[in-house]
Structure 1
């Protein structure tokens, strides 16, 4: 297997880390390591290889190829470091086990429709189907629960799910800041806005977990939208600080909004509605002027990239030698776990610019330089 030069030392060290984690787990009584042993006994030690990030108190079990595993580990480190710097102040005190489910075990683990991941705090166990938005969502939960445990607080359910949903799609700017990106949840908000079906903030803030989940399609979209509004106004960090400081007085989060904005909650809600009305419709939809590779994509069963279903003739992908069945795992070093991630990477490319695509063909990883062209190009 040809390895990316930047990842080669890490991949070598993974084999060392794997041996260390396996040895340490034998005598460890931490909940995460007990869960790791139980998982491997149930699903097999050969497919699920262990790894550990001691700095972040994270134990990992994946069946990914080394390079995909290291990319996942790097992305989680970046996400976690941002969350700790801006919101949660520290990584969890206890180790957390992260399991990426092998495709062969998916139907045994995920028995509910539309569920592709979960975090169980009592077991210190995060389980996800792939390296994309579900993993990003659940990893926020793992860090958030650690922060709540230190503070001896249990935050409102809309806060838990809204923050996690916010991090499903985002990108880093050159200065290290984060831009939160639109997704299907924003489309749902546009439909609710058009039909005058928005949920009042105070109703959402006080909603029980059962009611929130029962109305999940709408409530998750609302909660993410509110946090995206906060982030775009530059108030996300300040709101969370105000929330934990005033939690005993108001656990819903309304008071924290009034502190940060200096206005009554009803006025802030109207500002959010105005912001929502001004949002572009389907900002990630394909446009004629968008740069493209010339492929028909499909989900990848390993959930670590975008699989090519077909390569269109006379396109950049065809000229570069990409084939049906290849899996695109990164563009210019930034991962593309699913099609929306890939589309956002392409949307940032300037006309005429070349990009480096990292892809997997069978068991081998390779790179190719491609110059995408506009969809409207002949």
Structure 2
């Protein structure tokens, strides 16, 4: 495999002038033109020299705020040389795209979102490594924090109290700090608790048999039993035990009140097949931008419901299958990669179909 092979997603140097520093771009697409040349559609990154002094002052102010909240190496600890190098390693992401000839690529580099939990020296210790924390809009000349900003520091995390000394009592009012939901020193044995959980699952299965909507979603006994064995049922059962002071007879009577057996359902069971399909389509388009998913695809769902469903969906076979599909070689992307190799002087198959046949 050639050392000068470039793929979609690579950060690369582009030469546009012999007197200026290389441009830094991220490859989004590699396309072969009608003339046989390869063009790269790229995302633009800007250096400090490319933006106005006013915006540089804003960037420096933002960097100072990060330093104040960070417990890692601050700029005051750096030498003048390191400060100078750091300014040359800072980039500004943009949402701007442009197309450039692949023959102007001059090598790879690495660009990362500034990690506030690491020392800035980590970006100086590696060659061809850059960082960014702000997004530059060249059309309106503004700088904004990137959506992926990592928020650390006292403004976002709780302060950890001092550890109590041996024998020292905690004077804080515990009821204001946490809610107790389980007592490990209960009078019941583990076997008795397990038996109660089996009863709760059985009640859940029977409740689904009586519920018309559940009969449609889980038409078989096995599916109903599987749904009744989900965590939501077990959480309800254990909470019921705790609230009734681990009195089994009292807790069982609560599982089957006068109105009929209690039916506990989580988001995985509440969503219909069409809603699940819409969610997967939205996730493919927007990623984990749940606000956009809700706005454009599932406006009748709450944001909490969508997020809860996402984390449950990640535990399903459906998610595993999608991940396996994504990990398989992408023929078209392979073709684009070979095209870029060819633009740098290497041989490629005559057609995309010939590449497909060779894999």
Bucket of the pairwise TM-score, normalised by the shorter protein? under 0.3
Higher RCO by CA contacts (8 Å cutoff, separation 6 or greater): 2
| Higher Rg | 2
TM-score (norm 2): 0.23
TM-score (norm 1): 0.23
